[in-house]
Amino acid sequence: MSIIVSNVTKVYGEQKALDDVSFQVNKGEILGFLGPNGAGKSTMMKIITTYIPPTEGTVSVVGFDCMENSMDVRRNVGYLPEHNPLYLDMFVKEYLSFIAGLHKLQDKQKRVDEMIGLTGLDREQHKKIGALSKGYRQRVGLAQALIHNPDVIILDEPTSGLDPNQLADIRELIRTIGKEKTLMFSTHIMQEVEAICDRVVIINRGKIVADGKAEDLANQQKRGFTIEVEFDKEFDINSLRNINGVKKVRSLKGNSFELIYEGEADIRPDIFKLAVDKQATVLTINRKELKLEEVFQQLTR
């Protein structure tokens, strides 16, 4: 086991940020740590990386206790903090050499060059960090996290604030890194988890609310469906809300609606009947199973 979190509670003043949290990360695994803003993700990651102590409970990383053997933990962990603090006035290569120096690496320059190659910074290596786009700054942050060749990598919201192209590149890079290392990354976006990893721990208000394979989690939940329906004219939203089993109705563009309902039944015939009653015509209707995204919403509402 690479990371073992046992009954961790963290209290900041009056605020309980983590409440009796336990989970483990297996060697070689890519784990998504998913939760809405304020759930406690960054707090958990700061504890795992020994930057702050837990109020109660224990954490160990590759067999070292985060409180007792924090220096050993740091040697074995690479960490990209949420607000990736970089020295904007430093050149990319200069900064990475500086980090390599902090780790007292042998063969500093060789290692810096390897990291530049791995993270795709070749063409940016002589630029100032301040001149780089957010996506490239994130690569510098990843290079910094990997340079001492740690077994465990902790990335706090590594893809937040990136444009779609940068996002695809950084996801790809995370998958590549994850082939060799134990990797845990946090996100508040469900799609990130589906795109990058197969196991997910979901945290909400400081408590773990789900832990498992993404697809199993979707199956464990109450079965449900979404239906998108478009009418030819304005339609009374409340009449849709009154259909048996319907939990939520949202009005979309034009005369379209999205219904969410729980259960196995197919309620499309009810919608057709209702349309006839109201002298409206159904133009399109589409029924889909609830995806992991909705599971996440159910768990963290």
Binding site for ligand ADP (CB under 6 A): 12-13, 15, 17, 35, 37-43
**Binding partner of 135, given Mg ion, ligand ADP, none, CB within 5-8 angstroms per partner class:** none
Residue 260 · residue 290 · CB < 8 Å: yes
For residue 9, the surrounding DSSP H or E stretch is strand 3-12
Residue 24 · residue 42 · CB < 8 Å: no
Segment lying near Mg ion (by CB under 5 A), choices 62-70, 74-82, 222-230, 291-299: 74-82
Q: Provide, rounded to whole angstroms, the least separation between the CB of residue 91 and Mg ion.
A: 29
Q: Provide, rounded to whole angstroms, the least separation between the CB of residue 297 and ligand ADP.
A: 16
Residue 33 · residue 188 · CB < 8 Å: no
Starting at the earlier edge strand, list the strands of the sheet with 182-187: 77-80, 152-156, 182-187, 30-34, 199-204, 207-213
**Binding partner of 116, given ligand ADP, Mg ion, none, CB within 5-8 angstroms per partner class:** none
> CA 101, CA 167: separation in Å to the nearest integer?
30
CA 264, distance to chain mean position in Å, is 30
Q: Provide, rounded to whole angstroms, the least separation between the CB of residue 156 and ligand ADP.
A: 7
Q: Provide, rounded to whole angstroms, the least separation between the CB of residue 67 and ligand ADP.
A: 18
49 is a site residue for Mg ion (CB under 5 A): no
**Binding partner of 217, given Mg ion, ligand ADP, none, CB within 5-8 angstroms per partner class:** none
Instruction: Determine phi and psi for 194, rounding to 5 degrees.
Output: -60, -35
| Separation in Å, CA 277 to CA 108, 254, 270 | 76, 20, 11
Q: What b/e string do you get for 167-183 counting C-beta neighbours within 10 Å, with b at 16 or more? A: bebbbebbeebbeebbb
**Binding partner of 85, given Mg ion, ligand ADP, none, CB within 5-8 angstroms per partner class:** none
**Binding partner of 210, given Mg ion, ligand ADP, none, CB within 5-8 angstroms per partner class:** none
Residue window 81-100: x/- pattern of binding to Mg ion, with contact defined by CB under 5 A: -x------------------
Nearer to Mg ion, 160 or 239 (CB): 160
**Selected binder of Mg ion within 2, 42, 49, 76 (CB under 5 A):** 42
Q: Provide, rounded to whole angstroms, the least separation between the CB of residue 53 and ligand ADP.
A: 13
Q: Provide, rounded to whole angstroms, the least separation between the CB of residue 38 and ligand ADP.
A: 4
76 is a site residue for Mg ion (CB under 5 A): no
Nearer to ligand ADP, 8 or 177 (CB): 8
**Binding partner of 37, given ligand ADP, Mg ion, none, CB within 5-8 angstroms per partner class:** ligand ADP
Residue 2 · residue 27 · CB < 8 Å: yes
**Binding partner of 150, given ligand ADP, Mg ion, none, CB within 5-8 angstroms per partner class:** none
Task: Name the burial class of residue 217, with classes exposed (0-12), middle (13-18) and buried (19+) by CB atoms within 10 angstroms of its CB.
Answer: buried
| Number of residues binding to Mg ion, judged by CB under 5 A | 3
Residue ranges binding Mg ion (CB under 5 A): 41-42, 82
